Amino acid sequence: MPELPEVEVTRRSFAERIRGAEITGVRVGKPLRWPLGVDPEQLVAQRVGAVTRRGKYLWLALERGGLLLHLGMSGSLAFASRVGAPGPHDHFDLVTRRGTLRLTDPRRFGAVVWSPAPDAGAAAKLLAGLGVEPFDAAFDGAHLHAALRGRRLSIKDALLGGRIVVGAGNIYACEALFEAGIDPRTRGDRVSRTRCEALAKAIRQTLSRAVETGGSTLRDFRDAHGMAGEFQREARVYGREGLPCVRCGTTIRRVVQGQRATYHCPGCQKR
DNA sequence: AAGTGGACCTGCTAGC
DNA sequence: TGCTAGCAGGTCCACT
What's this model's pTM, rounded to 2 decimal places? 0.97
Q: How many CA atoms does the CB half-sphere of A266 hold within 13 Å?
A: 9
Residue A241 buriedness (CB in 10 A; 0-12 / 13-18 / 19+): middle
A188 touches strand B (CB under 7 A): yes
* Position A85 pLDDT exceeds 90: yes
Q: What is the pLDDT of residue A235?
A: 97
A233 touches strand C (CB under 7 A): no
Closest CA to A270 of A210, A198, A200: A198
Q: Which helix (H) or strand (E) holds A57?
A: strand A57-62
For residue A244, what pLDDT band results from cuts at 50, 70 and 90? very high
CB-contacted nucleotides of strand B (7 Å): 2-12
Q: What is the pLDDT of residue A220?
A: 86
Q: Which residues contact A43 (CB under 8 A, 6 or more apart)?
A: A23, A26, A62, A67, A94, A114
Which nucleotide comes closest to A7 if you measure CA to C1'?
A: C9
A157 touches strand B (CB under 7 A): yes
Dmax over CA atoms of chain A, in Å, equals 59
CA distance A1 to A31: 19
* Position A1 pLDDT exceeds 80: no
Q: What is the pLDDT of residue A144?
A: 98
CA distance A190 to A137: 24
* Position A199 pLDDT exceeds 70: yes
Domains parsed from chain A with CATH numbers? 4-127 (3.20.190.10), 141-264 (1.10.8.50)
